[in-house]
Amino acid sequence: MNQAVPPGKTLLTPFNIISGIILLIGGIITILRFTQGIGAVTNLDDTNPWGIWIGFDLLCGVALAAGGYVTCAACYIFGLKKFRCAVRPAILTAFLGYALVVLALHYDVGRPWRLPFPIFVSQGTSSILFEVALCVFLYLTVLLLEFSPVVFEWLNWKGARYLIGKVSMVLVIFGIILSTLHQSSLGALFLIAPSKLHPLWHSGYIAVYFFISSIFAGMSMVIAEHMLVARFLHDKIDAEHNIESNTVALGFAKAAAFLMAGYVMIQIIGIAMDNDWKYLGTGWGLWYLTEIVGFVVLPAGFYAVGVRERNVKLIRWTSFWVVSGIVLNRLNVSLVAFNWQLPLDQRYFPSFMEIMTTVFIITLGVVIYKFIVVRMPVLHGHPDYPDDHH
């Protein structure tokens, strides 16, 4: 107890108080959801069966958790060992992100106890949703194994730590393959809804859009995450991580700027292939251009300037801009531009309890993240494994 609460410190911090209130409200809503049914807490209906729990919790959550496979690929596949310090925080963020996505699905699915059915009972192998479910299930398992060395070091289980280290490269490769599949397939889910999704967002290339955007989303999330950690948990970061984090920010910003430029070009190709130019002059077109120019083109330019000037501070603030753009894109595809032809009074808008459930899930992730990094060797090297931490 003395270790958890050092002398002179108290548990009644603003973070703990606010988090506690949110978790309490979320717990009450959770009880209502699973005792009174999904209709008691949401504005979902047959016309709008997917709401904020899918649009934000799942689509945004999976995209922003892409830092795990992106960082592992950079460090282990492309041999950029200077990015080693970002691997463990990225894997932790990815693992928590995917775990919370699965948690959110329990709220959204009418009969959550049937979630394992597509994998273990009745495989609908011709369905894109089956591929997404299988990949997420397998990748969550891979992330757990990839993060297990941190736990083994914390527990001082040297034998288990040694064994998992022997298969780490296999896990990395498998994780990258699975991420490539399901990041793109989440976009492909919307291929079956050309009459519901606005033509500017619906495209035969939507799977490619989702995959490419997940890469620069993951990179931006890694940069933004370190800025937050350095601000609020700076005493848990060692000198090596602090120094290498600047290298990570510069490297990822440079790669993200190129990827974002390519993403814009593919968007233009998609519009040209479907001959959707006429929509650009409408109100929907203005909103689409706001997303593409305001949250892709401009931040890509700021990333490029930040790299040229070696301005890490500019890069880190820009990373939040890019993360906001990813959230905007996923919400546009799943909510804003979905059922766009319906009158406003028939359009979906999340209820207060839906929004609070999402806030509850995010807060739960932040609390667990803080609990882990305060206690385990995530942001610093373990003294018994000086050459192994990554």
Query: Tens digit of pLDDT for each residue in 98-129?
Result: 999 999 999 998 888 888 888 887 777 778 88
pLDDT value for 26: 96
What CA–CA distance (Å, rounded) separates 115 from 127?
A: 15
What CA–CA distance (Å, rounded) separates 350 from 297?
A: 30
If you write DSSP's letter for every residue of 335-377 in order, what string do you get?
IISBTTTS-GGGS----HHHHHHHHHHHHHHHHHHHHHHHHST
What CA–CA distance (Å, rounded) separates 171 from 120?
A: 22
Structure tokens of 260? 């974002």
Query: Tens digit of pLDDT for each residue in 122-132?
Result: 777 778 888 88
What CA–CA distance (Å, rounded) separates 28 from 179?
A: 34
What CA–CA distance (Å, rounded) separates 143 from 68?
A: 8
Angle, helices 14-36/352-375, rounded to nearest 10 degrees: 130
What CA–CA distance (Å, rounded) separates 204 from 148?
A: 39
Opening angle at CA 37, ends 329 and 345, nearest 5: 50
- What is the H or E stretch that residue 2 is in? none
260 confidence band (pLDDT: 50, 70, 90): very high
| Domain 50-350 class, CATH top level | mainly alpha
94 confidence band (pLDDT: 50, 70, 90): very high
pLDDT value for 329: 97
E strand spans, the chain: none
What CA–CA distance (Å, rounded) separates 338 from 62?
A: 19
Query: Tens digit of pLDDT for each residue in 14-68?
Result: 889 999 999 999 999 999 999 999 989 999 988 888 899 999 999 999 999 999 9
What CA–CA distance (Å, rounded) separates 371 from 127?
A: 38
pLDDT value for 126: 78
Query: Tens digit of pLDDT for each residue in 197-238?
Result: 999 999 999 999 999 999 999 999 999 999 999 888 888 887
* CA distances from residue 356 to 15, 22, 60, 351 in whole angstroms, order as listed: 17, 8, 16, 9
